[in-house]
Amino acid sequence: MAEEKTRADLTSSLDEGHRELLIGGGLSRRFTKLPLWLSHPSNIGAFYGLLVSTALILPYATTEEFWFPLWLLHASLLISATAFLGIISRLINALTGRMPLPINRKILYPIPFIGFTFLTLIHTELLVNNNITIFTAWCLLMAPGPIYIHLSWAPRWRLLCMIEDGKNPFKGVPIKEYLNEDKDDEIVIDDSELMAVVDSFQIEEE
């Protein structure tokens, strides 16, 4: 309780611009409410990989004879890769101390759906199956989560850790409009199922 009070007190004492930078908008705002150990960039990366893997169940089940072992292998690799990229982003941000950067979610958000479409077309043999198309499909599926974590969440998580330790991460830092993502979150991030999964973590912790 003492730690939560310290975080709340320091957050409320920040300037409005710094507070918006720390909390973010949409999905980031929900992640900031989670415990720091649960919202670690590697865990958020693994969470993204799990969501993508879950979406792949249908195309695998309908196009592969022995689909479950193959899906399980690819899901494990995907979750491990996105979790590892989250750790790398955390280490890079710890070294650079970079602030969160704005993300154009109108561009980033549809990318996994394009990758999912590519992969479905490949499995249904409507698109040529070769190394280039497979690589492109998996890159499109994987990219949005790690990009979001690297540019936005890993820096924000570092700031939250400093707040948790009772430090002011913005001491001597002038207010600046770092983020324009709040409006994009409100406009684009309207996936009720995704929000429900994130909110369920908060309910379990309470």
Q: What is the pLDDT of residues 160-204, one digit of tens each?
A: 898 888 777 776 665 554 544 444 444 333 445 455 555 555 555
Whole-number Å distance between alpha carbons of 121 and 118: 5
- Residue-wise pLDDT for 130-155, tens only, equals 888 889 999 999 999 999 999 999 99
Residues belonging to the chain: 206
pTM of the model: 0.76
pLDDT at res. 40: 96
Whole-number Å distance between alpha carbons of 173 and 47: 32
